[in-house]
């Protein structure tokens, strides 16, 4: 079985859980005799390719005038105009838009059609252009590579998955790691929503990372429930570096938030809970590890509450810095407003750190040995953190049973379920 797989990031170059999940899943699939061609916008050369062949889309030339490509070009309709994607317009329609822009004086500087194109692989101002370019690359690869099925991770790669399907006629599986509703609440970006919806409608199967996400996909996007399947994420069991007891000289308790500092992750509720705890016990330090669009607002709120001497902002952490942070932590908190899954609590539990998680998270569906609260219930969150910091028997119980629990959440098991999603599609 050979899979053409599209992703946006791959360790060690990641910005969140998407790259981590892709890495774990591909390692798991390789143990079930699945070969993978994994396409990313930008590869750096230091990625672990033991389980797959990594393709750097920036290395692939695309010649729009190449006659040998013409028959495939007619099967895809996905172009970029200015800074906004116009989904599914054909070349003629694209030319009409360009002419219209010329008449109205609007400039167009995109080089999405150029023979050579270097992706940033980031989430910057040219994101939509890069999404479109990856769709062109996807179509080209589908015409040349030998594979059985296409698997696209999250909305950024759905256009590439659709283009590859139209070119090859092979089945498409899209993986929904997070929806636009998770990221923004009800203030959805209609452009992203449309790409998500079109990707799922074009797919033969949709994999969601939790039943929570599955319900959103069915209810908010109107996707046929019969083709939406939940496969919960897992956690890498191999901790690359063992950290010594670096807490031995630290007398204060350390409570950690680790994730993007955005609406979705609920950082403001963590700060309010911290304030309540510090009114009862000043011998606790709180850490917010991560970056995001709410970071400055959170720093201002900490200053306003006059708890800055007990609060630390580390910025984005990865690799051994994450492992070290867990080694320093007495409690990990994930107060997400809407979390499709949430791998970080599993990483914390693997490191013997008890966790407090919101009930509005996918991981809450499978964890027993975690304290679960509603994200908005700051009092319950504060009580849970306080209890784990001050009652050794409670903390020890969650550490012991939590570690055993996560040791059974292996990527190899999740990958087998994904392979079982593939198999019926290949027999059609």
How does DSSP assign 211-256, residue by residue? HHHHHHHHHHH---GGGEEE---------SSPPP-TTTT--SEEEE
pLDDT band of 244, cuts 50, 70, 90 = very low
- Indicate whether 245 belongs to any domain: no
Do 186 and 323 fall into the same domain?
Answer: no
pLDDT at 239: 59
Domain that holds residue 393: 253-407
- Indicate whether 122 belongs to any domain: yes
- Indicate whether 73 belongs to any domain: yes
Does residue 246 surpass a pLDDT of 70? no
Strands of the 331-334 sheet, one edge to the other: 311-313, 284-289, 253-258, 331-334, 355-358, 371-373
- Indicate whether 244 belongs to any domain: no
pLDDT band of 238, cuts 50, 70, 90 = low
- For 166, phi then psi, to 5°, come to -65, -35
**Residue 407 is encoded by which pair of tokens?**
């040791």
Does residue 330 surpass a pLDDT of 90? yes
pLDDT at 61: 80
pLDDT at 211: 95
Do 335 and 392 fall into the same domain?
Answer: yes
| pLDDT: which is higher, 268 or 238 | 268
Mean pLDDT of the chain: 86
**Lowest-confidence segment of 92-101, 184-193, 196-205, 317-326 by average pLDDT:** 92-101
| CATH number of domain containing 268 | 3.40.50.2000
Task: Judge whether 250 and 212 are in contact, CB under 8 Å.
Answer: no
| pLDDT: which is higher, 166 or 300 | 300
Using a pLDDT cut of 70, give the percent of the chain over it: 84
Do 214 and 317 fall into the same domain?
Answer: no
Cα gap 323→249, rounded to integer Å: 18
For the chain, what is the radius of gyration of the CA atoms? Answer: 23
DSSP 8-class letter at 330: S
- Indicate whether 246 belongs to any domain: no
- Indicate whether 243 belongs to any domain: no
- The pTM of this model reads 0.84
Q: How many domains does the chain have?
A: 2
Do 177 and 143 fall into the same domain?
Answer: yes
Q: Across residues 133-142, what is the average pLDDT?
A: 88
Which of 241, 235, 238 minimizes the C-alpha distance to 327? 241
pLDDT tens digit sequence for 7-44: 998 888 877 788 889 999 999 999 999 999 999 999 88
pLDDT tens digit sequence for 352-411: 999 999 999 999 999 999 999 999 999 999 999 999 999 999 999 999 999 999 999 999
- Indicate whether 222 belongs to any domain: yes
Does residue 158 surpass a pLDDT of 60? yes
- For 343, phi then psi, to 5°, come to -80, -30
């Amino acid at each position: 079985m050979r899979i053409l797989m599209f992703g946006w990031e791959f360790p060690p170059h990641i910005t969140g859980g998407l790259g981590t999940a892709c890495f774990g899943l591909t390692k798991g699939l390789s143990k079930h005799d699945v070969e993978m061609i994994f396409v990313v916008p930008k590869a750096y050369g230091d990625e672990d390719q033991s389980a797959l062949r990594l393709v750097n889309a920036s290395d692939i030339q695309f010649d729009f005038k190449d006659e040998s490509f013409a028959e495939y070009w007619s099967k895809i309709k996905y172009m970029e105009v200015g800074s906004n994607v116009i989904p599914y317009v054909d070349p003629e329609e694209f030319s009409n838009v360009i002419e219209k822009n010329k008449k109205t004086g609007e400039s167009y500087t995109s080089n999405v059609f150029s023979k050579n194109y270097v992706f940033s692989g980031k989430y910057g101002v040219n994101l939509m252009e890069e999404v479109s370019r990856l769709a062109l690359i996807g179509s080209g690869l589908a015409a040349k590579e030998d594979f059985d099925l296409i698997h696209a991770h999250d909305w950024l790669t759905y256009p590439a998955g659709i283009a590859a399907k139209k070119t090859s006629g092979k089945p498409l599986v899209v993986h929904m790691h997070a929806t636009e509703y998770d990221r923004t609440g009800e203030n959805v970006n209609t452009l992203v929503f449309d790409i998500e919806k079109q990707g799922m409608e074009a797919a033969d199967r949709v994999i969601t990372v939790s039943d929570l996400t599955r319900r959103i996909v069915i209810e908010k996007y109107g996707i046929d429930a019969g083709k939406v399947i939940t496969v919960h994420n897992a956690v890498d069991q191999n901790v690359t570096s063992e950290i010594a007891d670096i807490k031995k000289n630290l007398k204060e308790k350390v409570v950690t938030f680790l994730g993007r500092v955005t609406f979705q992750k609920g950082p403001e509720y963590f700060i309010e809970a911290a304030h309540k705890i510090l009114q009862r016990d000043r011998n606790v330090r709180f850490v917010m590890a991560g970056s995001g669009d709410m970071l400055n607002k959170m720093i201002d709120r900490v200053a306003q509450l006059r708890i800055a001497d007990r609060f630390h902002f580390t910025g984005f952490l990865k690799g051994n810095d994450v492992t070290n942070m867990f080694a320093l932590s007495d409690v990990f908190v994930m107060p997400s407003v809407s979390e499709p899954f949430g791998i970080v609590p599993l990483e914390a539990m693997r490191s013997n750190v008890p966790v407090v998680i919101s009930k509005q998270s996918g991981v809450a569906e499978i964890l027993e040995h975690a304290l679960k609260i509603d994200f908005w219930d700051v009092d319950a969150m504060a009580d849970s953190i306080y209890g784990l910091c001050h009652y050794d028997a409670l903390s020890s119980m969650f550490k012991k049973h939590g570690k055993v629990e996560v040791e059974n959440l292996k990527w190899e098991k999740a990958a087998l379920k994904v392979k079982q999603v593939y198999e019926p599609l290949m027999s059609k």
